[in-house]
Amino acid sequence: SVTLGLETSCDETGVGIVADGILLGQALASSMDEHIRYGGVVPEVAARAHLESVNSVLRQALTNADLSLDQVDAIAVTSGPGLASSLHVGVSAAKAWALALGKPLYAVHHVAGHVAADTLEHGPLPERSIALIVSGGHSSLLMLKDLATDPIVHLGDTLDDAAGEAFDKVARLLELPYPGGPSIQRAAESGDPTAVDLPRPLLGKVSERHRYAFSFSGLKSAVARHVQLARRTGAPMRAEDVASSFQEAVVDVLVTKAVAACRDHGIDTLLIVGGVAANARLRAVAETRCGAAGITLRVPAPRLCTDNGAMIAAVGDLIVRSGAKPSGLDFGADSSAPLDRSLLV
């Protein structure tokens, strides 16, 4: 069966089409350029952009998949979490399509989509796996069984900022362009990762309760203090070195905790998903350390890590094939939907 997925939770309008775990086609539009001068996503601007592009992105995805709309069997849409005004546009559009076509509609969790994206590249998930989700709004270690039907178990979450948020804030401190993640990565390439001595928050001796928890706001503050001190005293400071040292600290914490979670639970598959999983240094360090620990590492291609429609089609396809009951048409957007299951309604 053919499932169409629609993603509009932030500034990307994405449509993907998946059949039995295979990506048939997708299309993506982004309002990123309109937000650059504000240094962050402006909800009102993002919502309007979704409204203007949603139908052309749908047509483009169908063209790329070489399908017509009546060949779609089910529709999945991100109903949360995300920016309320952005989510509303996608939920409304998906309801209209489902109603017009007489097809079942499924309200899905955006982050479950980030996880499912990996199945498009690496096939079905094993019986049990650990997922490190690192994105603009989330930093969690999850224990997964069947993504479509089983509850998602949180081993740990961030106590404050998400990893992507930290990249974005540190980029701003260093006056690197928005979005921060790719800017930091680029700057770090010509920097020295040992130049600035930065903390590894919640690593080493921590209480059991924080074994799999993250904290990135202190790290951001440490960078801020370093930058301020250098500016005040006129001490030499290369943004490249600060970016590289920051990136190294984040990557070290993320990979160390993810590998520990796998070891502790006797699970030999680790997924790293979400926008920050596009980070080249994170991918390289995870590859090395998982290799040494005998853990199979699964990270989707960078363009499947950041927001897209294919990931929503992927999680929708898993849910449809599980035989779950559709969500109907009487649901709304839930901007702070908790991540405890893939199907929200």
Among 104, 164, 191, 309, binds ligand ATP (CB under 6 A): 164
| Residue 271, beta-bridge partner list | 131, 298
Verify binding: residue 248, ligand ATP, rule CB under 6 A. Answer: no
Is residue 341 within 8 A of residue 115, CB to CB? The reply is no
Q: Is 182 in the site for ligand ATP (CB under 6 A)?
A: yes
Q: Residue 11 Cβ, how far from ligand ATP at the closest point, in Å?
A: 8
Site string for ligand ATP, 103-142 (x = CB under 6 A): -------xx--x--------------------xxxx----
Cβ of residue 103: shortest distance to ligand ATP, in angstroms?
A: 26
Residue whose CB is nearest to ligand ATP in the complex, by number: 275
Is the separation of the CB atoms in 76 and 315 below 8 Å?
A: yes
Binding mask 203-242 for ligand ATP (x = CB under 6 A): ----------------------------------------
Dihedral sign (CA 223, 179, 257, 252) = negative
- Rounded to whole angstroms, the Cα distance separating 77 from 93 reads 9
Does 168 belong to an annotated binding site?
A: yes
Report in angstroms how near the CB of residue 164 gets to ligand ATP at its nearest: 3
Residues 6+ apart with CB under 8 A from 211: 156, 257, 260, 264
Q: Taking the complex as a whole, how short is the minimal distance between the CB of residue 71 and Fe ion, in angstroms? A: 28
Q: Is 135 annotated as a binding residue?
A: yes
- What does 278 interact with, of ligand ATP, Mg ion, Fe ion, none (CB < 5 to 8 A by kind)? ligand ATP
Give the whole-angstrom CA distance, residue 321 versus residue 333.
24
In degrees, to the nearest 5, what angle opens at C-alpha 96 toward C-alphas 90 and 97?
90
Q: Which of 278, 285, 304, 315 binds ligand ATP (CB under 6 A)?
A: 278
Q: Report the interface residues with Fe ion, using CB under 5 A.
A: 135, 307
Report the C-alpha gap between 232 and 154 in whole angstroms: 43
Q: Per the annotation, does 134 bind a ligand?
A: yes
Nearer of residues 138 and 220 to ligand ATP, judged by Cβ: 138
Is 123 annotated to bind ligand?
no
Q: Are strands 2-7 and 74-80 parallel, antiparallel or unpaired?
A: parallel
Cβ 254 to ligand ATP, closest distance in Å?
A: 11
Cβ 145 vs Cβ 318: under 8 Å: no
Query: If residue 304 lies in a helix (H) or strand (E), which one and from where to where?
Result: helix 302-305
Among ligand ATP, Fe ion, Mg ion, none, the one that 316 touches (CB under a kind-dependent 5 to 8 A) is none
User: Could you count the other beta carbons within 10 Å of the beta carbon of residue 204?
Assistant: 7
| Count of residues in the chain | 345
Residue 279 as a binder of ligand ATP (CB under 6 A): the answer is: yes
Question: Percent helix, strand and coil across the chain, each rounded to 5?
Answer: 50, 20, 35
If one asks whether residue 276 binds ligand ATP (CB under 6 A), the answer comes out as yes
Closest CA to 312 of 140, 55, 107: 107
**Type of residue at 319:** I
Q: In what order do the strands lie in the sheet with 105-109?
A: 22-30, 12-19, 2-7, 74-80, 105-109
Q: Is residue 180 part of the contact set for ligand ATP (CB under 6 A)?
A: yes
- Residue 89 assigned as binding residue: no
5 close to 301: Cβ distance less than 8 angstroms: no
Residues in the site for Mg ion, rule: CB under 5 A?
10-12, 307
Which residues does the annotation place in the binding site for substrate? Answer: 133-137, 168, 181, 279
Residues in the site for ligand ATP, rule: CB under 6 A?
9-10, 81-82, 110-111, 114, 135-138, 164, 167-168, 179-182, 185, 274-276, 278-279, 306-307
Which residues does the annotation place in the binding site? Answer: 110, 114, 133-137, 168, 181, 279, 307
Which residues does the annotation place in the binding site for Fe cation? Answer: 110, 114, 307
